[in-house]
Structure 1
Amino acid sequence: MHQINGFYGVAVVSLVVWYLLSQPMRAHALVKRKWNRNSVSLAVREGYKSITKVTGKPFFVRYWARDYLVLSPKYLPDVRRAAKEDLIFVDTISDVFFMYNWIGSLFKSTRMQTSVIKGINPRLPLEAESPWYIAKLSYGMLEECDFAMKLELGDHAAPKEVVALEVLTSISLRIMARVLAGTQLSHDQAFLNGANDYFGGNFLTGFIMLWLPFPPFLRDIVAWPLWKYHLKFRQQRVIEMIMPAMAKRMQEHEQAVSKHGDGEYDAIQTLLDLIPELPLDENADQSPVHVLSHEILHLVSSGQSPAISVTAALFKMLAEPSYLAALRSEAEETVKRNGWTEQILNELPLMDSFIREVHRFHPSFVQLPIYFSRWPYSARGNAHCLCCRGAQMDPDFIVDPEKFDGFRFMELGKADVRQEDGVNRWSASHASYSNMTFGYGNHACPGRFISIRIIKIILSRMVVDFDISWNRTDGEPPRFTMEGLSVPNPTQKVTFQRRQAPVYSS
């Protein structure tokens, strides 16, 4: 009997040990326990290196107060092929900064994504009349960039020192607002100021909530006054600025005044065109004008993304001036041939490669959160993420990953014999193992083509029209990293001075 009891005891202990060893490890245990603003990034980096690469297993990381299972790259082919109803990227956006408290079910609707794919996205023209509005959108982006740079950086030869990320965010926001909401709002300084306050408020409110020493189920309750203030005095204020323009456009649309041809083509027009396909709920708490205005606000908020990329690219060019010289030469030759027209965007291979390498080397997110509604590999809940930085710096996927090589992807594109289908798999907008800035596979962000165009337009204008300098001699300034997010140094100043260069016609 004692032998039997001993056998069962050993068996139970063995099962417990086996269970514990089979469970994904927590990457935070591999780094110092003391919290710091870089703890998530360090945990993900160490987890990928010490767990995924050694054992092939996933690991857990604490991200925005919930556990995420960081998947191994071996699951990437399955993620790429997963159906849209099985895998969801957009819902995770509302978890970051705890935004679900003030945006509600905004991302449950597919109207915003569909408006970009079917109406705005220049690379996915699905309507017969799309060529004319693509040209109109690109012209508007080029025109708005010129207007914004003259406003922010001056239209004279005197040098002007500015905080780079701040000014480039203003320029990018104006261009994105022009594409998505038209000139009425892109030239409305009160709206732009309000939108900037709202975007900044998202960061401030989210990080304050993150620091509250309460468990998740209490955090939203305790922080109610904080996020309610943000909703009422920042978000709602900007929505109310959009609503008059939205109401006017809705009235014109009903009267068929601005249906595809008269006036501007933008995301407002696209959202209105989609109403028959994706009707608004007439019984909802908010009016249709309010709902559409809220959607426009969050489409415009994507204007921050190009600014982050442009600033990172600018800092790299200033740290390594040989890149600035090469990119300036390419842009000048391209503009000389084509003028400031859409055609230049297709003739900047060095710049396209440089942008992709900046995204690979300096990802804004160290991991890409996703939800699985159903998936055969799903474990312990449905909150997962892909390790963007880990894959993008993995020697299995990229040669010499620790070295920044701005033109590597142009060379890879030239050598890719599979491009007979016309797809450049090494372009800045093509999602892959080494380029997960905009997501991955069938679930990559549909707005990435607009974003890359804006980045190219701003960079081209900068290097052609301005001499750019800073007071650093020690390379790029340290990035600001917190809770897995990473942005270029938000205080670094740069001096712009207009060049005495020939003016190319638009």
Structure 2
Amino acid sequence: MALVTQLAHSASALAPLLLPSIAAIIALALFQRFFAPNPLSNIPTVGDQEYPGYEKKRQAYLTGKAKDLYVEGYTKFKHGLFRIVTPNAGNVIVVSPSFLGELKKLPDDVVSFDAALDDFMHTKYTLIPTHEAVIPHTVKSSLTPSLPRLNPQISQEVQIAFSQEIAPLISMSQAASESEWAPININSKLLRIVAKVSGRIFIGPELCHDERYLEAAVGYTVSVMEAQRAVEKMNPWLRPFAAWRLPEVKKLAEMEKDATAFLRPVVEARREKQRKGEEEERDNDMLQWLMDSADQGQGKAHGKWGEDTTTTRKLARLQLAISFAAIHTTTLVTTHAVYSLAADKGLQDTLREEVRSVLKEHSDGVFTTSALQAMKKTDSFLKETMRFHPLGQTSFSRKVLKTFVLSNGQVMPKGSTIQVPNYAVSRDPDVYPNPDVFDPLRFYNLRNEARGKGEVEQAATNQFVSVNKEFLTFGYGRHACPGRFFAANEIKMILANLVMTYEMGLAEGETERYRDWDIAAGTIPDPTKNVMFRSLVV
């Protein structure tokens, strides 16, 4: 008790000395916050006239105006920079693609892809697994080199998934209505098809059809985006107090718990076989590659693989992260493509003719790597689909961790975020002639023109998986999407099997391709729409 009293007296004696110091620190912080020179004050902000004030700009961004704001800024400041208010607090600087050359050279401790992803996905609240550098490492070192061997397996899985997900619905519709055409919500079906096909490579042929796996993979994918959007709608100042109580965030935590409960015994069973030497043939999929990477100590050499790299929980969470990355974007791109096909019978005929010709000429009906590469019109159609219907308004998002200066003298302060206006670039007539026209053979023709001039490198830049300053959907620089080669092959096989098996059309009364939904900085195909299917008569 005497000690407590002594401490109290000491604190009282020190208070007159400490309080001025504390007050000075607070005053300095307030001065820096409100009165210190802002290095970004010379960069214009878009939307000032239409949406005066921070909250009106934020709400405009959230309610479908983001696309217009990015286009406005790019049009006015095409070769420079502008600022935009997003749903998240902080300075967001949108830069011209002309700066990408210098930006991609900056190290990750100056401009961070991972930190920008954390902000976008709100991982502070959603707790989704990010910063797992072992995933891109494994994709680059194991998955992509294995694609020539894996492509026939992927093709087989596409056919199996079609027979389970689409064919029964057509048969049921014919039996019920005596109509050849069956309405199918293709977005929901593609979620399951992509999950099965991707799962064949991620977790193996036995488990990729298990409903518990599908529920985990598809459910987690959907729940992640629901939680992200829910947090994004919330005012930034309120998130630290209430985001964790959002139903969508709570559901995501439950989904992860359930998925981990399913995946854990799968990992444990494989480890037990290894310990006992009972493996008749070593599994050759992403799960095994990740396990091998952990066993070899590769994880610690490639980012936040952590001390629990060999634990089943860690591997299960990595499987969820891989499933989300693969299923979400692949399903969206494929749905976009199917909607365009349904609205254009001539395009279906064009792709169908190419697929038949290529399979006959190159591989006797097998989707080999050479056959997929020869499907140049299909490749062009996919690239044009992503140009015309990009999944987001921006690309190359980076969080500034250390203040630096651009070549034009502009200071980029720590804590700000950099973006490149992907959508606006894709609609720039100086980059793409007639940019508002959907031309499925745009890149096919560009490749032929370049090849005719002997410009081999230029021809290569017009491939679907190519990354350059004019096509930023897959990102740019060393963090460009590592899984795009696998995704491209998977999407091509799905579309090829669709046009070879079915005719597609729009729902009754619809005459134009279904309109997209703009949600904040994202663009998705309308998930409520049906596509009409009927079996192709050869």
Residues 309, 443 of structure 1: alpha-carbon distance in 2 compared, 3 angstrom cutoff: same
1:4-403 mapped onto 2 (5 Å cutoff): 23-29=42-48, 31-32=50-51, 33=56, 35=60, 37-50=63-76, 52-53=77-78, 56-83=80-107, 86-103=110-127, 106-121=129-144, 125=145, 133-154=146-167, 158=174, 159-212=181-234, 214-216=235-237, 218-226=238-246, 229-253=250-274, 262-275=281-294, 276-279=296-299, 288-301=311-324, 302-337=326-361, 338=363, 339-342=365-368, 343-368=370-395, 369-374=397-402, 375-377=404-406, 379-380=412-413, 381-403=415-437
Tell me, in whole angstroms, the C-alpha distance in 2 between the residues paired with 1:478 and 1:84: 38
Q: What is the letter of the counterpart of residue 399 of structure 2?
A: Y
Q: Given that residues 126 and 249 in structure 2 are in contact (C-alpha distance below 8 angstroms), is that contact kept between their aligned partners in structure 1?
A: yes
How many angstroms does 1:246 deviate by?
1.5
How many angstroms does 1:152 deviate by?
0.8
Alignment-derived partner of residue 128 in structure 1 = none
How many angstroms does 1:57 deviate by?
2.5
Q: Given that residues 353 and 409 in structure 1 are in contact (C-alpha distance below 8 angstroms), is that contact kept between their aligned partners in structure 2?
A: yes
Tell me, in whole angstroms, the C-alpha distance in 2 between the residues paired with 1:478 and 1:315: 9
Local SS of the residue matching 1:25: coil
Residues 176, 423 of structure 1: alpha-carbon distance in 2 compared, 3 angstrom cutoff: farther
Local SS of the residue matching 2:94: strand
Tell me, in whole angstroms, the C-alpha distance in 2 between the residues paired with 1:453 and 1:287: 31
Tell me, in whole angstroms, the C-alpha distance in 2 between the residues paired with 1:422 and 1:60: 34
Tell me, in whole angstroms, the C-alpha distance in 2 between the residues paired with 1:26 and 1:82: 25
Tell me, in whole angstroms, the C-alpha distance in 1 between the residues paired with 2:427 and 2:527: 24
How many angstroms does 1:183 deviate by?
2.0
Q: What is the letter of the counterpart of residue 258 of structure 2?
A: R
1:411-434 residue CA offsets vs partner (Å, 9 max, x unmatched): 211232565469811100001123
Tell me, in whole angstroms, the C-alpha distance in 2 between the residues paired with 1:232 and 1:423: 46
Residues 87, 251 of structure 1: alpha-carbon distance in 2 compared, 3 angstrom cutoff: farther
Tell me, in whole angstroms, the C-alpha distance in 2 between the residues paired with 1:447 and 1:38: 29
How many angstroms does 1:283 deviate by?
8.1
Instruction: Please tell me whether residue 491 in structure 1 is matched to residue 491 in structure 2.
Output: no
How many angstroms does 1:238 deviate by?
1.0
Equivalent residue in structure 1 for 2:483, among 414, 436, 447: 447
Alignment-derived partner of residue 478 in structure 1 = 515
How many angstroms does 1:67 deviate by?
3.5
Q: Given that residues 299 and 306 in structure 2 are in contact (C-alpha distance below 8 angstroms), is that contact kept between their aligned partners in structure 1?
A: no
Local SS of the residue matching 1:431: coil
Q: What is the letter of the counterpart of residue 297 of structure 1?
A: L
The answer for unaligned runs of 5 or more in structure 1 is 1-15, 126-132, 502-506
Q: Given that residues 31 and 46 in structure 1 are in contact (C-alpha distance below 8 angstroms), is that contact kept between their aligned partners in structure 2?
A: no
Residues 246, 389 of structure 1: alpha-carbon distance in 2 compared, 3 angstrom cutoff: same
Q: What is the letter of the counterpart of residue 367 of structure 1?
A: T
How many angstroms does 1:97 deviate by?
4.0
Tell me, in whole angstroms, the C-alpha distance in 1 between the residues paired with 2:72 and 2:49: 7
Tell me, in whole angstroms, the C-alpha distance in 1 between the residues paired with 2:443 and 2:519: 29
Residues 402, 89 of structure 1: alpha-carbon distance in 2 compared, 3 angstrom cutoff: same
Local SS of the residue matching 2:518: strand
Q: What is the letter of the counterpart of residue 370 of structure 1?
A: R
Deviating more after overlay: 112-121 vs 85-94: 85-94
The TM-score with structure 1 as length reference comes to 0.84
Local SS of the residue matching 2:532: strand
Alignment-derived partner of residue 407 in structure 1 = 441
Residues 246, 422 of structure 1: alpha-carbon distance in 2 compared, 3 angstrom cutoff: farther
How many angstroms does 1:173 deviate by?
1.6
How many angstroms does 1:21 deviate by?
9.1
Tell me, in whole angstroms, the C-alpha distance in 2 between the residues paired with 1:19 and 1:107: 32
How many angstroms does 1:282 deviate by?
10
How many angstroms does 1:366 deviate by?
0.2
How many angstroms does 1:335 deviate by?
2.5
Tell me, in whole angstroms, the C-alpha distance in 1 between the residues paired with 2:306 and 2:337: 47
Q: What is the letter of the counterpart of residue 154 of structure 1?
A: A
Deviating more after overlay: 290-299 vs 370-379: 370-379
Q: What is the letter of the counterpart of residue 381 of structure 2?
A: F
Local SS of the residue matching 2:48: helix
Q: What is the letter of the counterpart of residue 379 of structure 1?
A: M
How many angstroms does 1:65 deviate by?
4.6
Tell me, in whole angstroms, the C-alpha distance in 2 between the residues paired with 1:383 and 1:283: 27
Tell me, in whole angstroms, the C-alpha distance in 1 between the residues paired with 2:333 and 2:40: 41
Tell me, in whole angstroms, the C-alpha distance in 1 between the residues paired with 2:123 and 2:49: 29
How many angstroms does 1:449 deviate by?
0.5
How many angstroms does 1:28 deviate by?
3.5
Q: Given that residues 24 and 58 in structure 1 are in contact (C-alpha distance below 8 angstroms), is that contact kept between their aligned partners in structure 2?
A: yes
How many angstroms does 1:31 deviate by?
4.0
1:95-141 residue CA offsets vs partner (Å, 9 max, x unmatched): 2342342336x3223101101000101xxx3xxxxxxx434421221
How many angstroms does 1:347 deviate by?
1.5
Tell me, in whole angstroms, the C-alpha distance in 2 between the residues paired with 1:21 and 1:202: 33
Q: Given that residues 70 and 421 in structure 2 are in contact (C-alpha distance below 8 angstroms), is that contact kept between their aligned partners in structure 1?
A: yes
Deviating more after overlay: 187-196 vs 346-355: 187-196
Alignment-derived partner of residue 498 in structure 2 = 462
Q: What is the letter of the counterpart of residue 347 of structure 1?
A: A
Local SS of the residue matching 1:182: coil
1:71-107 residue CA offsets vs partner (Å, 9 max, x unmatched): 1122122234444554433443332342342336x32
How many angstroms does 1:196 deviate by?
2.2
Identity of aligned residues (%): 21
Residues 282, 414 of structure 1: alpha-carbon distance in 2 compared, 3 angstrom cutoff: closer
